[in-house]
Each structure stands twice: as structure tokens, then as C-alpha cells.
């Protein structure tokens, strides 16, 4: 790897750290900047696409493993069960609806593609990314219930979509006849991937949480090493599943759920780790994705594929979320906002690379990776540019919707939140 390109990348990361707070309320997001930086460095031959792709898959798998584990660990499942309407419908109805609608759209736009590969790219374009949505999730102008619904959805939907992506990928690869372990036996292969992943994650997540509580109760552990412990536990779940024939990403997600359930809210250190060291992993992944994937993807993307990407962002998700929230007392403005704000990011990149690189044999493998890369770029730009203005617009509309004399409810973060004054979800 070119030393000058590496130096510029490290200096850019340092510079971003200096002004991250200043950029938080602008249209410039970290993923957008580092995708663009990676692309620019590749075009200037300061980062070589081939070398960057070798490093990308390794770093992306590590990063997604940590993100899946940590997002699941900090999810308050008890609260979700008490007030489940929006997140539950968005995950259990909106997620599969988006895959189905995306497949129908793909069949229309890509008629020469095999059916299961169309379904696969539709599924890969479905998960949303918390890293790209931070400008909304942390914005106090957005009503609390909307932020909670989007945060919960983005934390869980990549883990919940993975088994479906695996199933579709196994069918597609098996149909192509290029993978010996899958050909003619895709159901057994997929069942092992998901089943052993579930088992490894559940056991290690439960044991890890019990071990941390036991050590903390006796004063054996050190707060400074808790984040490292979580990193090691997520890696252990991934590797145990991998070597037993399961899927490491499934194990990381389920391990995080089990860990968070046992810890019962005592996971602040996980959040702190992801807000600091974890952000470095995420931004580094976007940098390498920009260098490894975007030059070739931007040059070779076809008009029909570009239309699929834009309609997936602009129409498929909003329609799926709107349908999922039918027959609920959800204001139309909230449906519109939550339907629009579903940025694609890390999971879309990693799932496309995983299916193509690890399973192999797809007829449209490079097209799938190219579509995923351009979709993430388009999402980073469109959602990044609209995040702060849309949040302010929604906040003003919510204020205007209050009845005369009705006071906004105070939130614990000190910002005003009128959502609870308008009825529960």
C-alpha cells in the first residue's frame, strides 16, 4: 500500500477527530467524507484498488462483527416488548416487505438477471446503517419516539436480515452450480450456517456476560478493559461459529442479544467503546470501500442498476415502512420521515462482499458488489445532505402541530419533545 496514501488517510482521521462535533449539524458526515477520500486517493493512485480490496474484506468483517454485537447488546429488549409498535412493525413487516418490493422492482429493471440473484441484491440493499444515521439519531430536534424507533430498527435490522440474505444467497449459489458444499444441498448448508451461528452466539454471549458480572462483583476486573473484553467476546463468538460450520455474523448478533439480556442495561461501556474506538473501525472501513470499490463501480454501473438503487432509496423503503405502519396511530409526517431515513452502509457493503467472496459462483457477482457500493455512496450523499435539514423541519412541524396552549413535554436530555403530548405510539 502506498505510504503517502496511508499517511493522508491517517491525517484525515486525525483532522476529522478535531472537528467531528462541528460537523455534526452540517450536511457532511464521516462516512460520506471517508468514502469520498478513499475514492479520491484511488483515483490519484495513492491507494491501489486491488490492495485496498484485500484489506477491506478483513477490516469490514471485523467492524461488522463488533457493530452487530454492540448494537444488539445495547438494545433494551424489555422496553421494546413494552412499547413495541413502531420498531416491531418496521422490523417484522417493513424489512421483508422491502425485500419483496425490491425484488419485484429488480425483476422489472434487470430482466436478464437470474431470479434469485435479483432477490439477493434486493435483500442486500435493505439493511440500514446507524453510522450513516447518527445525524438524525442524536439530533434533539427529532421527536424522541421517532429517534428511538429508528435507532432500534437500525440496531437490529442488519442482524435480522442476515439469515434471509444467507438463505437467498445459498439458493442463488446452489442454482449456479459453482459451490460444491451448496449445490443441491443449500437447505442443509444454510441451516448449519444459521443454526450453529445461533448456538455459538447464545452460549458465548451468556457465558461472557456472566463472567464479566462475576469478575466485577469481586473487584477483579478493570473498567478500562471492559471495551476490550467486549471486542474479544464478539470475536470469540464469530470464530467459534466459523470453525463449527456456522455464520460468524449471526453468532455476533445473537451473542450481543444474549450479553445485553444478562447485563440488563449495564452496557454503557459498550456504547462508549463504539462511540470512540469503534468509530475508527467504521470510518476506516468506509475509506477502504471508497478506494477498493467505487472507482470500478462508478465506471461500470448501468442505467438500469442506477435506477434500481435510486428507487430502492426513494420509493421501496418509504412504501414498505408506510405499509408496515398501516392501522397504527402514526402521523403521516412520521411515516414519511422514518420511511425516508433508512441509510444504507456497512452491512450492505459487507454482505455483498461476503456472499461474493466467501460463497462464490454467482453469475452477477461483480454487478452485485458494484450496485452495493454505489448504493452506499448514493445513500451517504442523499441521507447526509438531508439529515440535519429534515430533522429541523420535522421538529418545527411537530411544534406547529401542538394545540394552542399545549406545552411540549421535557425530555431527559433537556431538549423539548412534543411527541408524548400527542398520544402514545
User: Confidence band (pLDDT; 50, 70, 90) for 293?
Assistant: very high
Q: For 221-226, which contacts have Cβ atoms below 8 Å and span 24 or more sequence positions?
A: 223/269, 226/269, 226/273
Average pLDDT score, the chain: 81
Question: Higher-confidence residue: 283 or 276?
Answer: 283
Q: What is the mean pLDDT of residues 40-59?
A: 86
355 neighbors 128 (Cβ within 8 angstroms): no
Report the helix count and the strand count for the chain, using DSSP H and E.
20, 2
pLDDT at 288 over 50: yes
95: which 3 cell numbers?
424489512
Ordered structural domains, the chain, with CATH: 3-18+28-402+410-422 (1.20.1530.20)
Q: What is the pLDDT of residue 79?
A: 65
Q: What is the pLDDT of residue 417?
A: 38
Q: What is the pLDDT of residue 77?
A: 66
Residue indicated by cell numbers 405499509: 323
Q: What is the pLDDT of residue 133?
A: 64
- Bridge partners of 417? 409
User: Confidence band (pLDDT; 50, 70, 90) for 47?
Assistant: confident
Q: What is the mean pLDDT of residues 334-362?
A: 85
User: Confidence band (pLDDT; 50, 70, 90) for 405?
Assistant: very low
User: Confidence band (pLDDT; 50, 70, 90) for 402?
Assistant: very low
44 neighbors 237 (Cβ within 8 angstroms): no
Tell whether the torsion through CA atoms of 210, 211, 216 and 222 is positive or negative: negative
Q: Which range among 24-33, 55-64, 306-315 has the greatest average pLDDT?
A: 306-315
pLDDT > 70 in the chain, percent:
82
Question: Higher-confidence residue: 392 or 210?
Answer: 210
Q: Which range among 89-93, 138-142, 311-315 has the greatest average pLDDT?
A: 311-315
Residue indicated by cell numbers 459451490: 179
Alpha-carbon distance of 285 to 275, in angstroms, equals 15
Q: Please give the helix or strand (H or E) that residue 262 lies within, else none.
A: helix 248-263
Alpha-carbon distance of 162 to 99, in angstroms, equals 12
Alpha-carbon distance of 181 to 192, in angstroms, equals 11
pLDDT at 328 over 70: yes
Q: What is the pLDDT of residue 416?
A: 36
Q: What is the pLDDT of residue 269?
A: 65
pLDDT at 320 over 90: yes
Question: Higher-confidence residue: 402 or 76?
Answer: 76
| 77-128 tens-digit pLDDT | 666 666 657 888 898 899 999 999 999 999 999 999 999 999 999 999 999 8
For the ranges 31-35, 151-155, 373-377, 398-402, which has the lowest average pLDDT? Answer: 398-402
Alpha-carbon distance of 352 to 366, in angstroms, equals 9
Q: Please give the helix or strand (H or E) that residue 409 lies within, else none.
A: strand 409-410
Enumerate residues 6+ apart whose C-beta is below 8 A from 81.
Answer: none
Question: Higher-confidence residue: 407 or 32?
Answer: 32
364: which 3 cell numbers?
452477477
Q: What is the pLDDT of residue 182?
A: 53
123 neighbors 98 (Cβ within 8 angstroms): no
pLDDT at 185 over 70: no
Q: What is the mean pLDDT of residues 262-269?
A: 73
Amino acid at each position: 500500500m502506498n505510504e503517502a496514501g496511508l499517511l493522508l488517510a491517517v491525517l484525515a482521521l486525525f483532522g476529522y477527530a478535531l472537528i467531528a462535533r462541528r460537523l455534526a449539524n452540517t450536511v457532511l458526515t464521516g462516512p460520506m467524507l471517508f468514502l469520498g477520500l478513499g475514492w479520491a486517493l484511488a483515483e490519484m493512485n495513492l491507494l491501489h484498488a486491488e490492495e485496498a480490496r484485500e484489506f477491506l474484506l478483513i477490516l469490514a468483517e471485523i467492524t461488522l462483527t463488533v457493530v452487530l454485537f454492540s448494537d444488539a447488546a445495547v438494545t433494551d429488549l424489555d422496553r421494546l416488548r413494552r412499547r413495541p409498535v413502531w420498531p416491531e412493525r418496521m422490523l417484522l413487516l417493513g424489512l421483508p416487505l422491502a425485500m419483496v418490493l425490491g425484488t419485484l422492482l429488480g425483476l422489472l429493471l434487470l430482466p436478464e438477471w437470474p431470479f434469485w440473484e435479483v432477490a439477493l441484491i434486493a435483500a442486500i440493499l435493505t439493511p440500514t446503517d446507524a453510522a450513516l444515521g447518527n445525524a438524525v439519531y442524536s439530533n434533539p430536534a427529532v421527536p424522541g419516539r421517532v429517534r428511538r424507533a429508528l435507532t432500534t430498527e437500525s440496531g437490529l435490522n442488519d442482524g435480522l436480515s442476515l439469515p434471509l440474505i444467507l438463505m437467498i444467497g445459498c439458493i442463488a449459489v446452489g442454482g449456479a452450480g459453482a459451490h460444491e458444499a451448496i449445490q443441491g444441498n443449500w437447505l442443509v448448508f444454510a441451516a448449519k450456517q444459521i443454526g450453529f451461528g445461533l448456538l455459538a452466539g447464545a452460549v458465548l454471549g451468556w457465558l461472557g456476560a456472566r463472567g464479566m458480572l462475576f469478575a466485577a462483583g469481586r473487584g477483579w476486573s478493570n473498567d478500562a478493559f471492559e471495551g476490550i473484553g467486549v471486542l474479544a467476546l464478539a470475536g470469540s463468538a464469530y470464530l467459534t461459529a466459523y470453525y463449527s460450520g456456522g455464520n460468524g455474523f449471526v453468532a455476533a448478533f445473537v451473542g450481543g442479544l444474549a450479553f445485553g439480556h444478562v447485563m440488563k442495561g449495564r452496557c454503557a461501556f459498550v456504547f462508549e467503546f463504539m462511540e470512540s474506538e469503534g468509530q475508527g473501525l467504521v470510518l476506516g472501513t468506509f475509506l477502504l470501500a471508497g478506494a477498493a470499490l467505487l472507482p470500478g463501480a462508478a465506471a461500470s454501473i448501468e442505467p438500469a442498476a442506477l435506477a434500481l438503487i435510486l428507487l430502492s432509496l426513494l420509493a421501496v423503503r418509504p412504501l414498505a415502512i408506510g405499509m408496515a405502519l398501516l392501522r397504527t396511530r402514526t402521523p403521516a409526517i412520521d411515516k414519511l420521515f422514518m420511511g425516508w431515513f433508512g441509510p444504507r452502509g456497512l452491512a450492505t457493503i459487507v454482505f455483498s462482499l461476503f456472499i461474493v467472496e466467501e460463497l462464490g459462483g454467482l453469475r452477477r457477482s461483480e454487478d452485485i458488489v458494484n450496485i452495493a457500493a454505489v448504493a452506499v455512496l448514493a445513500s451517504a450523499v442523499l441521507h447526509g445532505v438531508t439529515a440535519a435539514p429534515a430533522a429541523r423541519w420535522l421538529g418545527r412541524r411537530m411544534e406547529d402541530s401542538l394545540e394552542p396552549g399545549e406545552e411540549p413535554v421535557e425530555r431527559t436530555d433537556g431538549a423539548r419533545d412534543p411527541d408524548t403530548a400527542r398520544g402514545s405510539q
